[in-house]
Chain A
Amino acid sequence: MESLEQIRDRLLARFPGATITLVPNPGPAAEHTISLDNAHAFEIARFLRDDPALQLDYCSNVTGIDWPEKEIVETKKVSVADPAGGPAKVVEEKTKRIEPGRLEAVYHLYSMALRHGPVIIRLRTGNRSDQVTVPSLTPVWRSCDFQEREIFDLFGIVFEGHPNLRRLLMWGDFKDHPMRKDYVEPDDYEWEPTPHAEVLERAQAHYPSVTPGVSAPAQVEAKP
């Protein structure tokens, strides 16, 4: 199979207006990915499936990623001239910038016909609140159906063009997206010995302090 750079260059030649970026993975797995823009993603996906050299006819896995908003501190060395006329001093200047949060859908593509892969593509949403729509690739790969529904359920990405976009695991009236990093799960378990200090503190915290004279379960019940 051709390299990811070759695929990207071929895609850029085929789709001149598209924004296609290579996302390198510096880890030992070296699973580099291609990020596609939402306007061209559907056409590019169809091209990846139908291109005779690639024939990526099998989408084995679709997964979601939540990237919360994070603050990045960049340190830059700046030389400052001494007003007294001495030699210039080198000062570290720190700049903070906020990287906006986003959601991602990651597709792992293989070719059954040519026995190669994976080619991994990413679709990104604009933010985590109101621009959460990406094109659905279920019309291209039928196997994306349930997995996109699961991502819709647990991450809240809306797949435009999906034939049956409903929640898959949670019930229909459920409002949250449990796999998001800022999801607060219901604190409905009682205290029990556990090695997880964080869990222990939370479970202990939702019991009121017990005053003598009133039965303890009644107090627990009376908690608003």
Chain B
Amino acid sequence: MSTPAPTAAPQPFPAAGNISDADRENLRRNGVLLTSLEELYNWGRSNSIWPLQFGLACCAIEMIAAATARFDIARFGAEIFRPSPRQADLMIVSGTVTKKMIPQVVRLWNQMPEPKYCIAMGACAISGGPFKQGYNVLKGVDRFIPVDIYIPGCPPRPEALLNGLMQLQKKIRGEHLTGPDAAKHTRADAPSEYAVPTCGAHDIEPTHNPAVWTPPVPLGRLGKG
């Protein structure tokens, strides 16, 4: 893949051509709806994100609360929690991922069809959280699957989850179907399935997927002999 040329300013809907938003709004007032296939496609996708129905720990309770009438995730078209990965667009990793569980989580991710997105919800899914130094906890789900949105909190409130969902919607609406910076799911060379770790004699093997994640180097260690 060639790297996309840097653009001057991010356009909300670049495929709409050179017509400005003000012009389009003016046309809309006169009964002319101007859009593009890409815009329509992304608009439809972003407003019907079906999450995979599974929870791992206490963050799942907040996720359930986000589906209730008070917070009402249905406002964003994401209320249809699918019990099958084949029908899901979004994996909300809501809670502590143990080393015993990560092979199943990666396998579910592999079974989801493209386009698919992942939200790491809460401190545990991001980094292991309060259990980071435990022997049985994976130190962040991004060691094995690519994460689109990180929602910090322990656990994050339902509003935070809804904000993360809105960020994801924004991301989906900015995706392109063609061109050098086309979305991942439109490219044949982009990986869709990831290596499933195995549970070994002392630890999971491997401890992370090098294609997805590399250990960060601490500040202050660079340049020291």
Contact among B199, B200, B210, B223 with A212 in the assembled complex (CB-CB below 8 Å)? B223
* Residue pair B222, A216 in contact (C-beta under 8 Å): yes
* Residue pair B135, A178 in contact (C-beta under 8 Å): yes
Q: Which residues of B contact A185 (CB under 8 A)?
A: 134-135
Q: Which residues of A contact B202 (CB under 8 A)?
A: 174-176, 186
Interface: B218 (CB within 8 A) = yes
Q: Which of A53-76 contact B (CB under 8 A)?
A: none
Q: Which of A148-201 contact B (CB under 8 A)?
A: 169-171, 173-176, 178, 183, 185-186, 188-192, 196, 199
**A169 to B: closest C-beta gap in Å:** 7
Contact among A176, A190, A199, A212 with B139 in the assembled complex (CB-CB below 8 Å)? A190
A223, closest chain B residue (CB): B215
Chain A window 107-125, contacts with chain B (Cβ cutoff 8 Å), 1 for yes, 0 for no:
0000000000000000000
B101, closest chain A residue (CB): A171
Give the total of B residues in contact with A, Cβ under 8 Å: 27
Most-contacted residue by chain A among B132, B139, B208, B217 (CB, 10 A):
B217
Q: Which residues of A contact B10 (CB under 8 A)?
A: none
* Residue pair A210, B139 in contact (C-beta under 8 Å): no
Most-contacted residue by chain A among B135, B208, B225 (CB, 10 A):
B135
Q: A186-B207, A190-B215 are in contact. Are A209 and B224 (CB under 8 A)?
A: yes
* Residue pair A188, B203 in contact (C-beta under 8 Å): yes
* Residue pair A189, B218 in contact (C-beta under 8 Å): no
Interface: B70 (CB within 8 A) = no
Interface: A2 (CB within 8 A) = no
* Residue pair B225, A190 in contact (C-beta under 8 Å): no
Most-contacted residue by chain B among A169, A171, A209 (CB, 10 A):
A171
A-B pairs with beta carbons under 8 Å apart, 18 shown: A169-B136, A170-B136, A173-B199, A174-B202, A178-B135, A183-B135, A185-B134, A186-B135, A188-B139, A189-B128, A190-B216, A192-B132, A192-B218, A207-B218, A211-B225, A216-B217, A216-B221, A220-B217
Using a CB–CB distance below 8 Å, which chain A residues touch chain B?
169-171, 173-176, 178, 183, 185-186, 188-192, 196, 199, 204, 207, 209-212, 216-217, 220-221
